[in-house]
Amino acid sequence: MSVLINLRDDRSERVQYDDGVYPIYIRRGILSLYPDYVCPIHWHDDIELIAVLDGEMDYNVNGAIVTLHKGDGIFVNSRQLHFGFSDTRTECAFICILLDPAILCSTLAYEQDFILPVVRNHHAPYIYLEPNNRWHRDILREIYEIDQYKGQKITPLRVLSSFSKIWFLLYENIPSEGYTTNAENDDLVAVRNMAGFIQKNYAQKLSLQKIALSGAVGQSKCCKLFAKFFGQTPNTYLNRYRLGRSLDLLRAGDKSVTEIAMSVGFESASYFAEIFHKHFGMTPTEYRKRAGGIDAKKETGSSVPIINLNSPV
């Protein structure tokens, strides 16, 4: 069964912390547990720390893509739009840690002098952590340490200690001239709203006009923002999200292909099968068989034509 991130309407993650008292999230995961090896696009106030234990994955932060190999990691700053994925469906095992910078703000002075200069630094939406870089390596070491702390009575204290070390390294090494007190980048806010609108309303009929309106931009600007942040058109993003949501339904086996196509927003089973085959190289029924779902005889009884499109999904 796939991992589903709990998202609010604005696509911010409703983080399920390890403890209801402390804003600390520590997990080990594998990329194949996410639909089509793609984590849903999201953001949160917490900073995110990733360390790759095995395999590799690509990581998209505000449209910039870095490839993380075994031993690499990434720091994702607060409120940045991000997700991990693998277009080649390559497996990746990783540590994921979410921490709220507020736990370092014992006084207003700490927040103003040391926390905000990092979280509001436009030069650091993310930092690719390489083990051959000294201070990157130190941060990676703390990520591994935090992972080992999980489940102990004194975990919050240990995490606070490691988080303080990580923040010191960030503060010391991120260019200070990038700090700004201005509001968030308008383009980031717009694309975050549009991605959120799609992920919330994917089962409905969505036009480019509706998507653009959700971001308070024109249709041309909408297309440019999706190209910049995601490297794809709004329609491609919508179809791929729908396909990802269809995978669990196909594996569950309690709905026909036609029912699944309609429930995830496709206008017909034939178009769903067409797009599915283009993306996965097999029909929905073939995927269901390989995934151990119900027998194809339980389908609608009509054949589903597979049309080869020249354009990408």
Rounded to an integer, what is the distance from CA 309 to the centroid of its chain? Answer: 28
Tokens of 1: 């069964």
The parent domain of residue 251 ranges over 186-298
User: Quick one: pLDDT at residue 148?
Assistant: 93
CB 15 within 8 Å of CB 261: no
pLDDT confidence tier of residue 3, bands split at 50, 70 and 90: low
Tell which residue, 308, 211, 206, has the closest CA to residue 266.
206
- Same domain flag for 75 and 219: no
Is residue 62, in this structure, part of any structural domain at all?
yes
- Same domain flag for 124 and 201: no
Name the domain boundary from 130, 157, 178.
178
Whole-prediction pTM: 0.76
pLDDT for residue 181 is more than 70:
no
- Same domain flag for 92 and 125: yes
Higher pLDDT, 301 or 5: 5
Is residue 311, in this structure, part of any structural domain at all?
no
Say what the alpha-carbon torsion angle 170, 172, 176, 180 is, to the nearest 10 degrees: 40
Q: What is the pLDDT of residues 225-242, one digit of tens each?
A: 999 888 889 999 999 999
The span from the CA of 122 to the CA of 138, in Å, is: 23
Backbone φ, ψ for residue 150 (5° rounding): -50, 135
Q: First CA to last CA across the chain, in angstroms?
A: 24
pLDDT for residue 216 is more than 50:
yes
Q: Which of 64-73, 102-111, 278-287 has the highest mean pLDDT?
A: 64-73
The 8-class DSSP code of residue 19 comes to S
Is residue 6, in this structure, part of any structural domain at all?
no
- Same domain flag for 200 and 95: no
- Same domain flag for 28 and 85: yes
Rounded to an integer, what is the distance from CA 87 to the centroid of its chain? Answer: 14
- Same domain flag for 164 and 201: no
Q: Which sign does the torsion angle of CA 280, 281, 282, 288 carry?
A: negative
- Same domain flag for 127 and 162: yes
Name the domain boundary from 143, 178, 213.
178
Is residue 19, in this structure, part of any structural domain at all?
no
Structurally, the chain folds into a number of domains equal to 2
Is residue 48, in this structure, part of any structural domain at all?
yes
Tokens of 65: 């893509």
